[in-house]
Amino acid sequence: MPAPLIVALAGGVGGAKLAEGLQAHLGARLTVVVNTADDCDRHGLRVMPDHDTVLYTLAGIEQAALGWGIEGDTHAVMNQLGVYGEPTWFSLGDRDLALHIARAAALRRGDRPTEACLAAQRALGLAARILPMTDSPVATAVETDDGWLEFQEYFVHRRQEPEVRGLRFDGLEAARPTPEVAAALEEATAIVIGPSNPLVSIGPILAVPRMRDRLAAARGRGVPVAAVSPIIGGRALKGPADRMLASLGHESSALGVARLYADLVDLFVLDDADAELAPEIEALGLRTLVTDTVMGDDASRARLAGAVLEALEPT
């Protein structure tokens, strides 16, 4: 049997935790494709929240309490930016800012986002590889009762409080999977959709033109695809996925998520707490794995990843 080459799709915190578990098993045989539709310009610097959350998590330096940023980071620059009248609600630590500065400089020198991100990953000594879903700019906008909001305005500034009435991914039609993403999907022996928000994290990845075709082609070659539910007992462990599913007409449950992925995946992984939903999910034509999907520490991340990898092995 050839060594597995796993492609994981991830947004921020939840996907990053599963990616860390997968990296513990796979090292360099793991490629994580991250959502870039949350990326934004702050203070003239390019910030890539999902890439960077996965980066810091795989490097083992993520701010544990929040899941993003760097543990123990200082905020000297941000405090002084406030003196100069720059908005400070999107708080970036000093060491975190160094990444945004270095990456913005690389982009201005002509590097593609993928190249700039890979350089940062090498600098932090990552075993696995993280690929932006596309090198083209894509920007999520969120429709609320106050009108359309830029994603981070909704997510960070307004703390996800407004009810989400609609979503739009500007730039998506012109976006394409990068050559690196295309090659990773070509070589993959299995694909894992992480427990990230299915609408604003996994959604944009899957909506990149030709991305679904490439996933379908992989499945056509017998490559199994798994998805891990980000919803446990009807709730998202972190973030607004549960309320967003409900306000956009989906069921806020592992079953609701499984319905969104039904035509894409073979294996659906749900938490023990949702075991009673397994028959309905199987009725959609999916295999299920019912297990503990809460990833509180490194050991539980590796355990869940191991269970998913095992369930994906050819029987």
* Nearer of residues 55 and 277 to a second copy, judged by Cβ: 55
The answer to the question of residue 85 lying near a second copy (CB under 8 A) is: yes
Which stretch in 100-108, 129-137, 249-257, 282-290 sits in contact with a second copy by CB under 8 A? 100-108
CB of 84 to a second copy, least distance (A): 4
* Nearer of residues 123 and 275 to a second copy, judged by Cβ: 123
The answer to the question of residue 248 lying near a second copy (CB under 8 A) is: no
The answer to the question of residue 110 lying near a second copy (CB under 8 A) is: no
Instruction: Describe the strand order of the beta sheet including 225-228 as a list of residue ranges.
Output: 129-132, 30-34, 6-10, 190-193, 225-228, 267-271, 287-291
Tell me the C-alpha distance between 17 and 14, whole Å.
5
- Per-residue DSSP letters for 113-182? HHHHHHHHHHHTT-SSEEEESBSS--EEEEEETTEEEEHHIIIIITTT-SPP-EEEEETTTT--B-HHHH
CA distances from residue 313 to 5, 266, 310 in whole angstroms, order as listed? 12, 12, 5
Which stretch in 96-104, 212-220, 291-299, 307-315 sits in contact with a second copy by CB under 8 A? 96-104
* Nearer of residues 78 and 309 to a second copy, judged by Cβ: 78
Query: Please, which of residues 272-291 interact with a second copy by CB under 8 A?
Result: none
Candidates 82, 58, 81, 79; CA nearest to 70 is 58
The answer to the question of residue 118 lying near a second copy (CB under 8 A) is: no
Write down the number of H helices and E strands in the chain.
13, 14
CA dihedral sign, ordered 313, 14, 297, 93: positive
The answer to the question of residue 254 lying near a second copy (CB under 8 A) is: no
* Nearer of residues 102 and 248 to a second copy, judged by Cβ: 102
CB of 198 to a second copy, least distance (A): 33
* Nearer of residues 85 and 222 to a second copy, judged by Cβ: 85
The answer to the question of residue 101 lying near a second copy (CB under 8 A) is: yes
The answer to the question of residue 115 lying near a second copy (CB under 8 A) is: no
Contact 254, 290 (CB under 8 A): no
Amino acid symbol at 90 = F
Query: Please, which of residues 28-57 interact with a second copy by CB under 8 A?
Result: 43-45
Strand duo 40-42 + 45-47: pairing: antiparallel
Tell me which long-range contacts 219-223 makes (C-beta under 8 A, separation of at least 24): 219/264, 219/266, 223/188, 223/189, 223/190, 223/191
Contact 285, 246 (CB under 8 A): no
Q: Which of 28, 66, 124, 183: binder of a second copy (CB under 8 A)?
A: 124
Tell me the C-alpha distance between 184 and 125, whole Å.
20
Size of the site for a second copy (CB under 8 A): 30
* Nearer of residues 89 and 216 to a second copy, judged by Cβ: 89
DSSP 10: E
* Nearer of residues 103 and 250 to a second copy, judged by Cβ: 103
The answer to the question of residue 60 lying near a second copy (CB under 8 A) is: no
The answer to the question of residue 59 lying near a second copy (CB under 8 A) is: no
The answer to the question of residue 120 lying near a second copy (CB under 8 A) is: yes
* Nearer of residues 79 and 168 to a second copy, judged by Cβ: 79
The answer to the question of residue 123 lying near a second copy (CB under 8 A) is: yes
Q: Which residues pair with 191 in a beta bridge?
A: 7, 225
* Contacting residues toward a second copy, per CB under 8 A: 43-45, 73-74, 76-81, 83-86, 94-95, 97-99, 101-105, 108, 119-120, 123-124
